[in-house]
Every structure is written in C-alpha cells, then in structure tokens.
Structure 1
Amino acid sequence: MSDDRRLEVLRAIVQDYVRTSEPVGSKALLERHQLGVSAATVRNDMAALEEEGLITAPHTSAGRVPTDAGYRLFVDRLSTIKPLTRAERTAIERFLHGAVDLDDVVARTTRLLSSLTSQVAVMQYPSLTSSTVRHIELVPLGGPRLMVVLIVNTGRVEQRVLDAGRDLTGSEDVVAELRARVNATSVGQPLAAVPARLATLVDAARPEDASLTSAVADVLRDALEEQTEERVVLAGTANLARVGTDFPTSLSSVLDALEEHVVLLRLMGNLSSTREGDQVAVSIGAENPYAPLRTTSVVATSYGVAGGLGILGPTRMDYPQAMAAVRAVAQYVAEILDG
C-alpha cells in the first residue's frame, strides 16, 4: 500500500465521519470519493490503517472511525489551512470592529468563534507579562474628587475616583504636572514594574504635593493588582449538548472541567508552548493533559503576544475549518488591540 493512497483513504474517512457522525465503510468511500482503486484495495487499505491504530471499528459493523492518532496524522499532513471566504472575513471584521472596549472585544470574539465553528470558544484575557501602560489620565471632578484612569496597551481601561484630601479647585496646574510625572514614570512600562516606579515618584514629590501623589499612586497600585488576574471567557457551551453522542459517558465531566478556569488557563498555556509564532496548535483527545478533557480536541493560537484564544469540541471536528476560523479571528483581534 502506498503512503499517498493510505493518506487519501484516511482523509476520506475523516471527512465522511466528521460530516455524518456514522462509521464509514469501503462501499461509502468508493461512492463518495474518486479513489481510483477497487473495493478490495480500499478494504485492504482500511485493514492496514486499522492495524496501524489510525482507524477503529466502534462495533461489529463494517464501518470504521478515526482514532486520535488518525486525526493527528490527518491534521499534521494538512498542507495548508483553507482560508475563509471573503464574506466570512468581512463579517468577522465588521463584527469585531464594533467593540467599544476590551471586555466587549472578548465577548464578541468568543460569540463569533462559537458561531463560526459550532464549538465552545475560549479566550484568555491579555496576559500581565505582555501588558504595558499606554496612558494615565487624571481628571478633577470638583472639590477634592479626582478621577484616575489607567489605560493598558491591550485596551483595558480601569477608572477610580479618590478623595485628594484637599480642594483641587484652581489647582489645574498641580494636577497637570502630576499627570505628566505619572505618565513619564509609567507609560510603556510592564504592569508589574509600575508600582515600584510609583513609589519612587512619591518619595521625590514636593512636601505640599506628597499627600496627593501618594493617593494617586495607591489608587493606581490597586488598579494594577486587578490587572494581574488571569481570566478566561467561554461561549457556546451548549454546542456540546448538540453533539452528545460524541460524549456517551463523559459530557458531564467535560462540562465540569470547563467551569475550572484554572484548567483552561493551563491548557492554553500548554498549547502556547507547543506552537511557533502565530501558528495554530491542535491538541487531540488523549494529548490533552487534563483527564476529563481527553474526549475533546482544542484548536488554539495567540492574538499578538497578549493572550490565547481557541475552540474546544469533540474529536470529531472539522479541523481545517476550525483552524482557519481561529487563525483569522486571532489576526483581527490582534489588529484591534494593537491599533
């Protein structure tokens, strides 16, 4: 049996099983695909694929289904990821560019990915390690009240209102000077490095401005601590129920695992370590390190250097379409957050 023909038969089995969810027999393969060989040859090829652990018989019928190893070989031998259509890409761009802030971007992204793939969409909020301060604004609100606005390079915005301990009416120059010093100290710096730099700023403040400077620094430190929380957002969990036959005994375990965001963060991190650059990583079945998710597959990539996004679903998945959707959406998200 030639390797090329074996791969062609495997490809046909994967495609048919993904589409129909029914075990695939040699007769169906010959009817649906131009394999150019006899029924006996196809049966021999299928027997060889089964011996190699790439397909298996779920019961005593003549039909076969791909194994995790079969899906892996299929994915690894994809020469290219079929691009989305122009209409699909236009729809993605329009939908995501309507977002008003980072939370909206994340919510729209997960809903969009879930809709495009009919799987569970997972998106990790931008990571602390790659986030920097874009700008800090100080806005007098009248009397002693001052609004502090922290803007991160990923688009995250945090607002706090503090009591300056003194009336700031007529102190526009003082606020403007403090704003300039805070930005000179913080802009472009990693979030984790900013608190120490703010402490230096407080130490260098004039005695008459020390209280105000300290209050602003304390509020910013609180806001920065909230930025350190790693978060993931899901959409489309109900899609798993629609393919319940793919999880005859494990659906409840999968749903429980999806509620453990620490597990998802680790999963996204593991996939990040296996891919290069903006490549799409695929983890299939038993390759997943967390046991309750070993009946699922995960397709993920990064958006810029900020975080990861992807989809999770049964191993019986349209991998080329899922990979194309994940890659395209990630590219648009990166453009929005970097813009």
Structure 2
Amino acid sequence: MTQSRRMLVLRAVVEDYIRSQEPVGSTSLTKAHDLGVSSATVRNDMAALEDEGYLIQPHTSAGRIPTEKGYRYFVDRLATVMPLSPAQRNGIATFLSGSVSLQDTLQRAARLLSQITGQVAVVASPALSKATLRHVEIVPVGASVLLAVVITDTGRVAQHTLAVHPMPSADDLSRFCDVVNRQCSGLSFTAASERLRSLSADPAWRTSSSVSESLASAFATMADDERAGEMYVAGASKLAHQRTAADLAPLFDALEEQVVIMRLMSTLSEEPGPDGVGVAIGSETHTPGLMHASVVTSGYGRTAAADAETAGRTDAVDSSGSAGADVDGADAAVPSGFADDGPQTAGEPVAFVGSIGPTHMDYAATIAAVRAVARYLTASLVADGGPIGD
C-alpha cells in the first residue's frame, strides 16, 4: 500500500462526499474513480485513512466521510482548475459595474458571491488606517467650527468637526485647503498628520495654524482606526436549506458577532495560502458557532492579491463552471487589471471578501468565486486612481 495511492483515495472520498453528502463506500468509490486497484484494496486504504484521522465512519455499516484533517489535506492540495472565461468575468463586471458608490458596490459584491456559492457572503469596507488621503474639503459650520470632509483612495468618506480659534478668513481657508491637497494627497494618514504639524509651525501659515493642528489630530485618529467601516452580509437564509436546526443557532449567533467574524476573516486575508486565499475549517476558526463550518476569504484593494503565477494556481472555476456562472447581461467592460491569469500586486489587503458555508462545501468553486470577486474589487479600486463607483 503506497502513501500516494492512499491519498488519491482520500481525495476521491472528499470529492464524492462534497458532491453527494452521503457516506462513501469502497465499492462506489471504485466504480466512480479509476484507482487501478480492487474494492478490497480501497477498503483497506480507507481503514488506514480512518486510523490516521483523515476519515471517520459515522455508522458501523456506513461508508466514510472526511474529517477536518481530511478536508485540510484536500484543500492544501487542490489541483489547478479552469480559469474564468471572458464571459464569466464580464458577468461579474456587469453585476457590479452599475454601482453608484463604494457602499453599493460592496453590497452588490456580497449578494453576487452569495448567489454564486449558495452560502453566506461577507464583504468588509476598507479600514481608514489602511487608506491614503485622496482629497479633503473644509467648510465653516459655525462661528469657530469647521467640517472636514475626507475622501480616501479606497472610496471611504469620513467627516470630522474641527474646533478652531481664531477662525481663518475664507481666502486663507481656501488657500490652506489647496496646499493640504497638493502636499498630502496620496499620503497615509500618519504621514499626512506629520506633514500638517510641520505646516502649522511655518510662520507663513500662522493664520491657519489652528486649522492645521486640528486637522492633523483628525488624520492621526484616522490612522489609528483599525476597524473596517462596515460589514455587508448576504445569503444567511441559504444555509437554512443546508444545515440542521441544531447547527443553525450557533452559526447565526456567530454571524451576529461581527467583530469576531471581522477578526477571523481579516487574519485569513492577511495570511493567505499560496493561492492568495485563506481557508479555515471547523475548529481552525476558533469560533464556537463555526465548528461545523468553513470560511474562505481573500483580501482586496490596491495591494491585496498575490501573484497568480507564483501561486501556481489561477482564479478559476471547477470544470462544471459552477463558480463562474454567468450573470445576466455579461456585456460590460471588465475593469483594467481584472484578470485571472496574470500577476497582481502583492502586499497587505485593505479589506476582505469571503464566504462561510458547511465543511462539505465545494472548496474549488468557493475559492474561485471569492478570488474572482476580490480581484474585481481590487481592479475597481485602482482603476484611474479613484474609488469604486466613480
């Protein structure tokens, strides 16, 4: 008995169980797969895999089903699958391209991912700490109060009230705003804050020093904001058709704990596997409500995706095309950079997109769908240097 053949048997068991959700026996396995050995030999291999913790036999007379260890081995060794077709990429682009704002795009992305996978989809908006300044407008709203409207490169819009004394003239305020946009656009909020503090010390800007100090403090606060702005969830009701009532309650409780879900998915997206996607199975989530679920997530943003050529896999769907099912109206132009067969810029993601489903989910299809939506969001964010929906 060779280890390589035994692992081929394990892969076959996982594939058949994902498809049927019924315990897999040696006879059916031999008929469905060209393993080159007898049913008795496959039975012995399955018994050995059970001893090693990859399979479990739920009932004495039943076949076997994968354990978390079995799923983990399978996920870590997923073979290359078919890349998304142009029509499938256009389908995603069409569904998302009608967005009018960042919020609308992320809501659409969650609905689309849920529609493709039949599972819960979660999409987070970028944290301010991971964004850079794109533009700021400052307007008076009181005798000694200004309102700063800050637009980031990721499309987030933040508002801060600035208490100032003395209040600069309208002309001084306009000139100050122009200088801030010229000198700070494209900087992180930490760097922008430091730039403003040095500006406030410049005698040439004495009349605007109070504004500069207040705005520098606002930028510093934004730089410390590690929280994602919002989390968009879609498809929770779909799990009701896949799970028992006993499993649903803890899962829905887990979904209510948005901070826990955000922390889990952020960690997975920042420390992904070689394919740029992070997968946590059952107890690997360290979340009681997800003990019978798996989480697949990928980062998105200007520095989100790993090089697909280095990863050795491409954004893809399984041979049935389930992960890239065409969306009605697949004629929209695909954003520049939205491709599943070329390099992407490596680095820290600005936010994440992910899917939560049962441990027997179709991992290949789910990984393909999550990566495809993440790459669309990345391409949209960096297109023309503007935010999604521009």
* TM-score of the alignment, normalized to the shorter chain, above 0.5: yes
Correspondent of 1:257 among 254, 259, 266: 254
Q: Which amino acid aligns with 1:182?
A: V
Which structure's CA Rg is the greater one? Answer: 1
Equivalent in the alignment of 2:378 = 334
1 CA distance for matches of 2:284 and 2:251? 15
Q: Are 1:133 and 1:186, in contact at CA under 8 Å, matched by a contact in 2?
A: yes
Could you say if the C-alpha distance between residues 208 and 12 of structure 1 is closer, same or farther in structure 2, counting changes exceeding 3 Å? closer
User: Per-residue CA shift, 1:218-256, capped at 9, x if unaligned?
Assistant: 9965994896542422211112211114xx633211110
Equivalent in the alignment of 1:117 = 117
User: Per-residue CA shift, 1:143-200, capped at 9, x if unaligned?
Assistant: x9987542101112346799999898xx5x5454122122134312222444454455
Give the Å deviation of 1:267: 0.5
Q: When the two structures are superposed, what TM-score results if normalisation uses the length of structure 1?
A: 0.84
Equivalent in the alignment of 2:293 = 296
Q: Are 1:25 and 1:62, in contact at CA under 8 Å, matched by a contact in 2?
A: yes
Does residue 26 of structure 2 align to residue 26 of structure 1?
A: yes
1 CA distance for matches of 2:208 and 2:285? 55
Give the Å deviation of 1:97: 2.4
2 CA distance for matches of 1:19 and 1:41? 23
Equivalent in the alignment of 1:311 = 355
Could you say if the C-alpha distance between residues 277 and 302 of structure 1 is closer, same or farther in structure 2, counting changes exceeding 3 Å? farther
Could you say if the C-alpha distance between residues 55 and 36 of structure 1 is closer, same or farther in structure 2, counting changes exceeding 3 Å? same
Q: Write out aligned runs for 1:126-275 (5 A).
A: 126-138=126-138, 148-158=148-158, 174-195=172-193, 197-202=195-200, 204=202, 206=205, 213=211, 217=215, 224=222, 229-230=227-228, 231-245=230-244, 249-275=246-272
Correspondent of 1:321 among 359, 362, 365: 365
Q: Which amino acid aligns with 1:113?
A: L
Structure 2 unaligned spans of 5+:
305-348, 384-390
Q: Are 1:199 and 1:217, in contact at CA under 8 Å, matched by a contact in 2?
A: no
Could you say if the C-alpha distance between residues 276 and 197 of structure 1 is closer, same or farther in structure 2, counting changes exceeding 3 Å? farther
Q: Are 1:158 and 1:223, in contact at CA under 8 Å, matched by a contact in 2?
A: no
Does residue 6 of structure 2 align to residue 6 of structure 1?
A: yes
Equivalent in the alignment of 2:69 = 69
User: Per-residue CA shift, 1:12-68, capped at 9, x if unaligned?
Assistant: 211221122111112222332333322212212221221211111112333111111
Does residue 324 of structure 2 align to residue 280 of structure 1?
A: no
Secondary structure of 1:283's aligned partner: strand
Could you say if the C-alpha distance between residues 167 and 318 of structure 1 is closer, same or farther in structure 2, counting changes exceeding 3 Å? same
Secondary structure of 1:129's aligned partner: helix
2 CA distance for matches of 1:225 and 1:273? 18
The count of aligned residue pairs is 332
Q: Are 2:17 and 2:23, in contact at CA under 8 Å, matched by a contact in 1?
A: yes
Structure 1 unaligned spans of 5+:
none
Q: Which amino acid aligns with 2:290?
A: L
* Aligned residues: CA RMSD: 3.3
Secondary structure of 1:292's aligned partner: helix
1 CA distance for matches of 2:285 and 2:160? 41
Question: Greater share of helix residues, 1 or 2?
Answer: 1
Q: Which amino acid aligns with 1:217?
A: L
Q: When the two structures are superposed, what TM-score results if normalisation uses the length of structure 2?
A: 0.74
Q: Which has the higher contact order (CA 8 A, sep 6+)?
A: 2
